[in-house]
A and B are shown apart, each in its own frame.
Chain A
Amino acid sequence: MQESLAQQQERSHPARSTSIEVQKLQKKFGKHEAVKEVSFTIATGEIFGLLGPNGAGKSTTINMMCGYIQPDSGDTTINGISVAHNSRQAKRQLGVVPQEMALYTDLTAIENLDFFGEIYGIPVRERRERAEDLLRLVGLYERRKEAIRNFSGGMQRRINIAIALMHRPSFLMMDEPTVGVDPQSREHIFTTIEQLRSEGTTILYTTHYMEEAERLCDRIAIMDEGQIIAMGTLEELLALRDHTQELRRPHGLQELFIQLTGKTLRD
C-alpha cells in the first residue's frame, strides 16, 4: 500500500532530465531482506534526500548504487551507464562522501587529495590545481600541508567531501556528511553543497537531521524496512500527514517521519 504510494509519487514527477535511475534494487543478507525492490530516479542537478531510521536500508541502497556491493537483482544507471554492467565507467561518474572519515590521517590534506586524484588517473599538474581549488572551497587551503590527524572532526568532514569531488563527479552521494560537526562546519558544508547544486551536480543526500533535508533537498524519499514508504517534495510529503494532527514547519518533516516510521527504537 505504502510502496504503491511511493511509486505513484515517483510517476507524478517525471524527471526533468534523468541523471540517476534506480531500478528495483534488492538485497538479502541471509534471510534478512535489507532492500526490497527499491526504485527511484534523480534528475540532473537535483538534491535527492534519502531518509530513514537506522536499519532502514539506506546504506545498503547506497552501497549497491555505487557498486560496492552487488545487488541480488535490479540495477542503477548513472547518466545512462549501468553500474552492474559497466561498473568502471559508471564509477567515474560518481563520487561518494562516506559516513566514516575515510582518510589517511598520517598524510597531509593535499597528499590525501593528490592520492585520490591519482587513483582516478588525473594528470599531476591538473590534480594539484584541483586539490588546491577544493581546499579553498572547503576552507582548508591554509592548512593543506598539515597531517589530517591534527584536524578537528569538522575539518576532516570537509576534507572527506573534497576527496569525493577530486574527479569532478556528475553524481555525488553524501552519506550523513554532517555527523558530529559543529554548527560552523555544518554551515560551511551546506554552502558547499548549494554551490555544487548551482554548478549542476546531482546529489543523493542521506541524513538523520530532518532540518537538513528540509533546507537542502528538492525531493525526499523516506525508507523503512528496506522499502521506500513515501517520496516527493517537502510540500507533497507534508500533505501526506495525518490531518488530525497539527504539523508546522520547521518540525513538520520530523513529525511526519515519526508518523510514518513509528516511535519504536531501531538497532
Chain B
Amino acid sequence: MKTLWAIAKKDIMHVVKDKTALLLMIAVPLAVITVIGLAFSSLFNANSGQLTISVALSDQDNATVGKAIKQALNIHTKDLDITITTYPNAERVRQQVEASNESVGIVIPTGASEAINKGASQAIPSDKRVQFYTLPNNSSDARVNVIRMIVDKVLQTQLISNESVRQVYQVCNQPGNHCAPNTINGPAISGAVIQATNATENALQPVSAGKAPEINTFDQVIPGYAIFFALFGLNSVAATILQEKESGTFRRLLIAPIHKYALLGGKLLAQFVVTLVQIGIIFAIGYFVFHMHVPDWPALILLLFGTSFAATGLGILIVSLVRSRRQINPVVTLVTLVTSALGGSWWPLYMEPEWMRNVARVGITAWAMEGLNNSMLFGKSFMEVLPNIIALFVYGLICFLIALRFFRFQEKTAAA
C-alpha cells in the first residue's frame, strides 16, 4: 500500500510541477463551458417553453366561422403565442406558407359560414370548405398540429351547435309532438352548445405530480463538459504509462520488489486524484459563479468520486489494449466523442430515445449524467441516484481488473 501511494505521489508531483498544464486543465473546460452555457442559455430556461406560431389568414367570408376562428387563435400566454396576419386572397396565403414566412395558412372562402350552418348532415361543397395550408410532410411539426387542433375544434363546435338546433326542430315537427310557436330559440341553443363544448376545463381537473424540473443551462452544461474533459484526460493516463515504458523507468520499477497491482494501482490513484480535482474545481466554479443547483451534496460528491474512478479505470484499460502512443489519441478521441454524444454530455440524456439511452450505458458518461441529471435537475433523492454511484465504481473496478489481466508489463524483449 505504501508503494502504491509512493507511485501515486510521484505521478501527482509530475502534474503539479507543470503549472501551465495544470492551469490549462481547468481553464480550457471552463472556457468551453462558459461559451456553450451562454450560447444555449435559452434552450433549457423556463421561458424557452413558449411556442410561437405565425398564421396567415384570409377571411373572404367575413362571417361567424371566420370570427370564431380568429377569436380562438387569439392566444398570447407564456406557453403559446399566436400571431395572425391577414391577407386579401388565398394566393398570398399560399405564397407565405410556401416561403416559410408563416407556419400555417387559413383561408375562409365566401359562403363558408352559411354552408357550415346548414349542418353536418349535408355535404359541404369543396369551394366552401375552410382551407388549411401547410408545407408538405410536416405532420410532426408541433406548430401545425396546435393550429389544426384549434381550427378543428372551432369547426366542430359550429357543426355540433347547428346540428343541435336542427335536431330540436326535427323533434318538434314529428307527428304527435307539439312545440308552442316561437319557443325554439335557435341562436340560444347554438350558443349553449358552444359554451358547453368550450367548458371542458370545468370537467377536467389538472393535477401535477412530482416536481417540475428547474433547469439552469449550466446545470446541464457544467456536468456534461466536466465529464467530457475528464474523459479527454484519459490521454494523459495512457501517455504517462507509455512514456514510462519508453524511458525505462517502468522497467526499473518492475525490477524493484513491488507488486504489479501496486504499480498500476499507483497510476490509477494518481490519475483519480487529478481527475477528481479537475472536476471538483469546475463544479465549484459552476456553483459559485454560474449558480448551478446542487440539491443533494452527498449524492453529487459521490457521483464525482465515482465518475473520476470510472474514467481513470477506463484510461488504464485503454493503455493496456493499445500498443503505441500514436494509437492512444484516436482511441481516446473515439471513446470520448461517442460516449459523450450518447451519454448526454452535450444535451440532456432524457431527450434521447430510449434505445439510445440503453446503448449509452456502455460508456461512463451515461451513468454519470443520468445520476447528475436526476439529482440536479429532477431533485431525486440520494437513494434514487445510488444505483448510478455504485455502477460508476463497479465500472472502474471492472476496467482495472481487465487492465491487470491484459496489461503488458514486459514488452517483448529482443535478444541483445
Does A pair with B?
yes
Pairwise interchain contact A91-B415, C-beta atoms closer than 8 A: no
Residues of B within 8 A of A96 (CB): 252, 255
In the complex, residue of chain B having the shortest beta-carbon distance to the beta carbon of A66: B255
A126 proximal to B (CB < 8 A):
no
Contact status of A118 and B255, CB under 8 A, knowing A34-B415, A226-B415? no
Pairwise interchain contact B13-A107, C-beta atoms closer than 8 A: yes
Shortest C-beta distance, A200 to chain B (Å), equals 21
In the complex, residue of chain B having the shortest beta-carbon distance to the beta carbon of A28: B415
Partner of A106, one of B17, B251, B255, B413: B17
Interface size class of B (residues with CB under 8 A): 20 to 34
B167 proximal to A (CB < 8 A):
no
Partner of B257, one of A88, A100, A111, A115: A88
Partner of B248, one of A32, A54, A55, A101: A101
B18 proximal to A (CB < 8 A):
yes
Binds B, one of A18-26, A57-65, A191-199, A245-253: A57-65
Contact status of A29 and B414, CB under 8 A, knowing A106-B17, A107-B10, A111-B13? yes
Partner of A54, one of B10, B258, B416: B416
Pairwise interchain contact B257-A120, C-beta atoms closer than 8 A: yes
Q: Most A CB atoms within 10 A — which of B18, B257, B412, B413?
A: B257
Cβ contacts B385-416/A at 8 Å (1 or 0 each): 00000000000000000000000001011111
Residues of B within 8 A of A102 (CB): 247-249, 251-252
Residues of B within 8 A of A240 (CB): none
Residues of B within 8 A of A136 (CB): none
Residues of A within 8 A of B410 (CB): 68-69
Pairwise interchain contact B247-A101, C-beta atoms closer than 8 A: yes
Cβ contacts A92-111/B at 8 Å (1 or 0 each): 10101010111111110001
Residues of A within 8 A of B10 (CB): 104, 107, 115
Pairwise interchain contact A57-B255, C-beta atoms closer than 8 A: no
Shortest C-beta distance, B375 to chain A (Å), equals 39
Shortest C-beta distance, A85 to chain B (Å), equals 14
Pairwise interchain contact A60-B14, C-beta atoms closer than 8 A: no
Residues 4 to 38 of chain B near chain A (Cβ within 8 Å) = 6-7, 10, 13-14, 17-18
Cβ contacts B57-68/A at 8 Å (1 or 0 each): 000000000000
Cβ contacts B149-168/A at 8 Å (1 or 0 each): 00000000000000000000
B256 proximal to A (CB < 8 A):
yes
In the complex, residue of chain B having the shortest beta-carbon distance to the beta carbon of A105: B247
Residues of A within 8 A of B249 (CB): 102-104
In the complex, residue of chain B having the shortest beta-carbon distance to the beta carbon of A92: B257
B211 proximal to A (CB < 8 A):
no
A232 proximal to B (CB < 8 A):
no
The 11 sampled A-B contact pairs (Cβ below 8 Å) are A29-B413, A34-B415, A35-B415, A55-B415, A60-B413, A60-B416, A88-B257, A101-B247, A106-B17, A118-B3, A119-B258
Q: Point out residues on B near A: beta carbons under 8 Å.
A: 2-3, 6-7, 10, 13-14, 17-18, 247-249, 251-258, 410, 412-416
